[in-house]
Chain A
Amino acid sequence: MIGTATVALGGLPLMDDADHRPAPRPVEPPDAVATLDLVLKARGGEQDACDELFARYEARLRRWAHGRLPPAARGALETQDLVQETLVRVFRQLPSFDPRHPRAFRDYVWTTLWNAIRDIARKYKRRGPTGPLDTDVAANGPSPLEEAMGREAFARYDAAMDRLRPEDREAIVARVEMGLSHVEVAAALGKSSAAAAHMAVSRALMRLAEEMAHDRKPRR
């Protein structure tokens, strides 16, 4: 005969309704930290972590890239290759960093993605009449961002973005080019609230406008 120890597995009877009612809780910026975890796993070569990262960011990065790529590149974008490749490359090549400083990590990822997305855009631009895409008349066509602003203004915008402080650029990319909510922007930028994020974006936009204006003046 064996003795038994009583282990209370479960406390109260489960009542479907009471149990499943979503608990009220404050709005919490999503994912900022869990992402670090995923990135680390992705670096360790874990397929699932990569999958999850794609699931989480693909749509947004696609949107970002979409805005910056000429129509010819969009075919490639639809096949997911560009975004996927970019993500894999960025996350796989992360240098080691100290997880106690998520800020440094964040800036690194943003900057790397910024460069990666613009490299893609430039690559497609450069494929002029002699490039492999020359059959496509639209190879040099304007990207949606370019189209929204006009070629000349976009050139100023892009050059000005390059000169901004990284945190201003991140704010604009996250809100304007990726279309994240202000709550998400707060998480991405490490701001304390949506209102703070909105303020950061607004100020960044002003600095961007000033930078753009700079480029315009001498030509007057």
Chain B
Amino acid sequence: MTASPDAEDPRLLSVASTIARGHPVDWSTVPTDPETTTILEELRQIEGVCQASSPVPDAWGPFEITGELGHGSYGTVYSAMDHDLGLEIALKVIRPGRDGEDHDIRRALNEARLLAQINHANVVRVYSAERIGREVGIAMELVRGRTLHWLVRAHGPFSASETILIGQELCRAVAAVHGARLLHGDIKANNVMRAHGGRTVLMDFGAGHDLKSSPERAHRRAAGTPIYLAPEVLAGAPRTTASDIYSLGILLFHLATGTYPVNGHTRDDIERQHEAHAPRRLLRDVRPDLPEAFIRVVERASAERPEDRYQTAGELETALHRMSQDDVVPDPVPTPLRRWALPLAAALVMAAGAGYHWWPSSPGAVPAPTSAAAVTPPPPAVGADSYDVEAAFYRHQGGKAVRLQSGARIAPGDELSFEIQSSVPTYVYVVNEDDRGEAYLLFPLPGQQLANPLPPGARHAIPGVVNGERINWQVSSAGGREHFVVFASPEPPSPAFERMFQSLPQPTPGAAPAPQPLPGELATALRGVGGLKKAPARPAGELMSHAFTAPLPDTRETARGVWVRQLTLENPGK
């Protein structure tokens, strides 16, 4: 099919271009001639469709809109490019409904004003607010990540230690909010994002209030989400810092369980249950595996009577902190709770296209899922090629080894080691990565007595003996978070993979290597998009450890194909 001459008609093209932008065409200025009338008539029909489907606009004010991030009750949040700052931002555009126009505009400007008063790493940063016609746009820091709501829905509940870490960061955020004498008013899983890199970010101050400018009044129908609203607020009392803390408690409950302590679909339902003091769902019934101390903290934060709650966010943070300090937070996260298993299996299929596959001579072979994804239907033929594997990281203290759980704290000077045991000969690779994406290969290294494949049936200590000396790793400096990613496979990796592992900087006894970002190539290939992405530059904040989110369990697992697990430790250096 060839393009007809009409397809090049600049007048027609200009009309089509306006329609494609979603802008209205001023038909009175479109010149018509007999040649083009019919086509113009059809374009006019098409314009109607375009406007009915309201496509994402190309721009708002000075910002180029790149996509839609979310949709809330009051507006749409876009990703957008601020070309002046050279920065991609999040742009929340509030379009007032027909009724309550002024109210919505005031609410939007209020949200921006509240945000502008807070400068905290765990609160979304606002750049500017602008009013154009009947719309208000709030330009914010673009948080690359997911809402906690999404994470719970997609991956299942969080482990106790992850919940504690997120809870602590949220407490800091809320302490900053309350410290500025503001109320948030709508703390919930939908309004908190977890950025790639692990930072927790509180957002959406649409229901917020500035206590400095006016005392909070009692509202018959306070803004906020009923299931998160404190009982006294539902009953009509003014909102307080204690009602924000209640919402935090409900959020922690939700993170650990995926459910809520109170059932009910409507506001009235929920209010009635509070009034009747109906029995609540108990955390210890839903997650009997959680540490008792954690259960008590959550219960206290979400206590029915405001006076029974923690009085400040700082108090709640201290309680959570005490638990995370505990060396051995009992945190038997049952693997089924975290269903995100086996990223590499699929990754490797993709990698095959780029010449990277684990198995040198099996193009297209699809490794079966490991049985670790226990919640998902079991893979068709588990059995023949499955193997058992167990691994753990340890900190050495006064001659004792403490097994490290995800979220445990480490500090400069600490000595660490790793152990792994498998039922078959196994090729093992251990990589350390920090939040900046700087990475090292920890195993295998030249001079190490152990070499791949590791023999089956025995526990292997890593780094083990190096150049005739028994060695541990020592933490030499502080730096936020440390991620350890462990790869194990009964099959040797392809030379290409092996080369990439070997291209990582390697520590040698007694000397710190120059830190170096993980080669984008490696991350890209491992993530399974090798060779397909034109510019394999790794976006800032996107780490290998985020591609592999399955946590290292504290029990043996049955695996097939490549087994990848990761462990995150806190290394704040305080």
Contacts and interface: CB of A to CB of B under 8 A. Distances in A.
Interface of A: 2-14, 16-17, 19-20, 22-25, 27-28, 30, 33-34, 36-37, 40-41, 44-49, 51-52, 55, 59, 63, 67, 96, 98-100, 102, 144-145, 147-150, 153, 156-157, 165, 175-184, 194, 198-199, 201-203, 205-210, 212-213, 216-217
Contacts of A202: 13, 16-17, 19-20
A59 B67 CA distance: 13
B445 to A, nearest CB: 9
A7 B38 contact: no
Given A4-B415, A13-B478, A157-B49, A102 B512 contact: no
A178 B507 CA distance: 51
B245 interface: no
B480 to A, nearest CB: 4
Given A44-B346, A202-B16, A9 B56 contact: no
22 contacts: A2-B471, A3-B471, A4-B474, A4-B509, A8-B476, A9-B434, A11-B479, A12-B477, A12-B479, A16-B121, A27-B66, A45-B377, A48-B154, A48-B373, A145-B49, A181-B55, A181-B65, A181-B67, A208-B42, A212-B42, A212-B45, A216-B42
A4 B4 CA distance: 76
A40 B346 contact: yes
Interface stretch (B178-186, B297-305, B322-330, B523-531): B523-531
A116 to B, nearest CB: 19
Given A23-B541, A206-B7, A157 B46 contact: yes
B463 interface: yes
Interface string B7-48: 101001100110111000000000000000011111101101
A2 B52 CA distance: 72
A183 B84 CA distance: 19
A148 B49 contact: yes
Interface string B252-292: 00000000000000000000000000000000000000000
Nearest to A192: B534
Given A2-B415, A209-B12, A212-B46, 13 more contacts: A7-B512, A36-B532, A37-B347, A46-B376, A47-B339, A47-B377, A49-B346, A51-B154, A176-B53, A181-B55, A183-B65, A202-B19, A212-B45
Contacts of B78: 181
B88 A180 contact: no
B570 to A, nearest CB: 10
Interface stretch (B102-110, B313-321, B421-429, B436-444): B436-444
A77 B366 CA distance: 34
Name the 10 nearest CB pairs between A and B, nearest first: A10-B479, A23-B540, A99-B353, A14-B480, A16-B121, A209-B42, A181-B56, A148-B52, A8-B512, A47-B376
Contact of B46 (A28, A40, A209): A209
Interface in B49-108: 49-58, 64-68, 71, 78, 81, 85-88
Interface in B450-475: 463, 466, 469-475
B531 A14 contact: no
B6 interface: yes
A190 B86 CA distance: 24
Given A36-B529, A44-B346, A175 B55 contact: yes
Interface in B317-354: 339-343, 345-347, 349-350, 352-354
Contacts of A14: 435, 478-480, 572-573
Contact of B527 (A20, A37, A175, A217): A37
Contacts of A49: 346
B508 interface: yes
B1 interface: yes
A47 B377 CA distance: 8
Contacts of A25: 88, 539-540
A47 B475 CA distance: 38
Contacts of A217: 38
Given A99-B532, A148-B52, A206 B39 contact: yes
B513 A8 contact: yes
B56 to A, nearest CB: 4
Given A67-B53, A148-B49, A210-B4, A100 B541 contact: no
A13 B573 contact: yes
A52 B52 CA distance: 28
A35 to B, nearest CB: 10
B512 to A, nearest CB: 4
Contacts of B86: 24
Contact of B81 (A17, A27, A67): A27
B364 interface: yes
Given A7-B474, A202-B17, A210-B7, A55 B46 contact: no
A17 B463 CA distance: 35
A44 B87 CA distance: 37
Contacts of A175: 20, 55
A6 B350 contact: no
A102 to B, nearest CB: 6
B369 interface: yes
Contacts of A33: 529, 532-533
Contact of A2 (B65, B121, B472, B571): B472
Nearest to A54: B154
A206 B52 contact: no
Contacts of A46: 341-342, 346, 369, 373, 376
B515 A198 contact: no
Contacts of B511: 6
B55 A176 contact: yes
Contacts of B527: 37
Given A22-B142, A28-B539, A98 B572 contact: no
A9 B346 contact: no
A6 B442 CA distance: 11
B155 interface: yes
A47 B121 CA distance: 33
A10 B533 contact: no
A98 B364 CA distance: 9
Contacts of A51: 153-154
A30 B56 CA distance: 15
A80 to B, nearest CB: 13
Contact of A203 (B7, B66, B442): B7
A57 B402 CA distance: 44
A56 to B, nearest CB: 10
Given A7-B440, A47-B375, A205 B515 contact: no
B384 interface: no
A63 B76 CA distance: 15
B512 A6 contact: yes
B361 to A, nearest CB: 18
Contacts of B507: 5-8
B1 A180 contact: no
A5 B508 contact: yes
Contacts of B381: none
A11 B342 contact: no
B510 interface: yes
Nearest to A184: B67
Interface in B526-569: 527-529, 531-533, 539-541
